[in-house]
């Protein structure tokens, strides 16, 4: 991946209008995708395209469609749909690949492209490499009789709604429960309210009036304050917040207290263990709270830490035979139900656990006590190189010794910026602040020398 020109760890993303996030590139990208897939399959190829609610999505949808059709690929347009819905529909509609036009939790002025294989999983490195090679080649339109055809899939939302409901038991019901949904003015705004209402809940929606520009703006899982306020004001039993493309979720209990991805992993692990459904270790990331690790250990389960990023969590789950993992941000993977992180499916799994136990979220999370966490970003020339200095290593060792058995330390260097993230966790907030500052100062001092 390090030699890729356009693909990052999660597709292609950037600011709209800046290369490569413009119409010209998307036209060429569609053609390159179509050409690469056709060459590998040796037969007629079909691709599905979904998008979130950003105004730029219309432009990129048209450009990708034109490029794919010019390469002889049939295109099925899903319209605004959550990212995991595109993964599901790619597989269920027997398409050769799926494309999502979205920048996830970013503001409206960003956009990006994600890809799924025919199995609803990330494209292989070989296919991504072939696409990049195609971007450097000539744009050749196939003969008129070989051009692809494009059509809108009118029942895409209905198909996905039924899939989401199928991930819980047939007798599962939310009757009598009042739920506030925050759809982040994004891709879940049409499907999520219908799913929870059809399962019996009384649904109140916020962040469900997208205008092309308000996606993720002071709403959704990245800005849950509006949901917390609404849950309390409406006297709701629960609140659920998705991000702009619907692959992340965070919950709010009836008191307005936020439940992030660490809390959701704990609630699910506890329930699944009691029901004999938990296989393998629970997989978190380097940023998962130490309190989660401690709570899982107390119930006899292991927490394996992957690098930050859902693709790394997924790989660890596959390697270790696990079914449950995720990130603090709310990207939860339930591999007994689907191949990728799905905010709606994860929320339903948590609600199913609560209904089966007869507990509300406040009670279900009581066994998890998170510890104070402080993260300081050190931005300076030479910051990344500073991690190799003896002064930083010695200081880090001293901080780790001070927290031995009570907390942990994480130093993460950015792969693209002169930036180091210093994270310290421990039982006492004042101590954690002091130790994090001490370690950050050591990095700054060493960066001054190496920079």
Residues with a catalytic annotation lie at: 104
Query: How far apart are the C-alpha atoms of 114 and 187, rounded to whole Å?
Result: 14
How many Cβ atoms are within 10 Å of 126's Cβ, its own excluded? 10
Phi, psi at residue 198, to the nearest 5°?
Answer: -65, -20
Closest CA to 83 of 46, 109, 55, 122: 122
422 beta partners: 376, 411
Contacts made by residues 390-395, CB under 8 angstroms, sequence distance 24+: 391/442, 391/445, 391/446, 392/439, 392/442, 392/443, 392/446, 395/438, 395/439, 395/442
Strand 73-80 versus strand 150-152 pairing type: parallel
Q: Are 399 and 423 in contact (CB under 8 A)?
A: no
- The three-point CA angle 134-136-138 to 5° equals 80
Strand 324-326 versus strand 332-334 pairing type: antiparallel
Query: How far apart are the C-alpha atoms of 97 and 127, rounded to whole Å?
Result: 11
Q: Which helix (H) or strand (E) holds 101?
A: strand 97-101
């Amino acid at each position: 991946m390090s030699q890729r020109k356009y693909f990052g760890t999660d597709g292609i993303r950037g600011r709209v209008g800046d290369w490569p996030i413009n119409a010209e590139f998307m036209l060429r990208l569609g053609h390159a995708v179509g050409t690469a897939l056709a060459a590998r399959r040796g037969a007629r190829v079909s691709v599905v395209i979904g998008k979130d609610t950003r105004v730029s999505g219309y432009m990129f949808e048209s450009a990708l469609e034109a490029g794919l059709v010019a390469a002889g690929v049939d295109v099925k347009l899903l319209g605004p749909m959550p990212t995991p819905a595109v993964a599901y529909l790619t597989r269920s509609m027997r398409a050769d690949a799926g494309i999502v036009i979205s920048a996830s939790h970013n503001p409206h002025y960003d956009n990006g492209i994600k890809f799924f294989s025919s199995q609803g999983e990330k494209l292989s490195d070989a296919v991504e490499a072939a696409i990049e090679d195609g971007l450097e080649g000539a744009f050749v339109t196939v003969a008129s009789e070989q051009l692809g055809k494009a059509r809108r899939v009118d029942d895409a939302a209905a198909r996905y709604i039924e899939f989401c409901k199928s991930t819980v038991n047939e007798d599962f019901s939310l009757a009598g429960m009042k739920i506030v949904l925050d759809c982040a003015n994004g891709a879940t705004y049409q499907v999520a309210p219908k799913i929870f209402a059809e399962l019996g809940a009384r649904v109140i929606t916020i962040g469900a009036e997208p205008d092309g520009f308000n996606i993720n703006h002071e709403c959704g899982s990245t800005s849950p304050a509006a949901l917390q306020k609404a849950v309390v004001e409406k006297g709701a039993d629960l609140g659920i917040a998705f991000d702009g493309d619907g692959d992340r979720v965070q919950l709010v209990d009836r008191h307005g207290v936020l439940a992030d991805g660490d809390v959701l992993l704990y609630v699910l692990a506890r329930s699944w263990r009691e029901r004999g459904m938990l296989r393998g270790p629970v997989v978190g990331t380097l940023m998962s709270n130490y309190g989660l690790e401690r709570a899982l250990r107390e119930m006899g389960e292991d927490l394996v830490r992957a690098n930050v990023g859902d693709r790394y969590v997924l790989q660890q789950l596959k390697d270790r035979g696990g079914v449950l993992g995720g990130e603090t941000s709310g990207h939860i993977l339930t591999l007994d139900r689907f191949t990728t992180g799905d905010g709606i499916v994860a929320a339903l799994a948590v609600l199913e656990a609560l209904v089966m136990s007869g507990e509300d979220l406040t009670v279900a999370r009581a066994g998890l006590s998170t510890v104070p966490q402080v993260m300081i970003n050190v931005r300076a020339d030479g910051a990344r190189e500073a991690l190799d200095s003896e002064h930083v290593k010695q200081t880090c060792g001293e901080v780790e010794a001070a927290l031995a058995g009570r907390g942990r330390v994480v130093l993460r260097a950015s792969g693209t910026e002169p930036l180091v993230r210093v994270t310290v966790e421990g039982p006492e907030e004042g101590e954690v602040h002091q130790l994090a500052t001490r370690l950050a100062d050591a990095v700054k001092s060493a960066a001054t020398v190496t920079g």
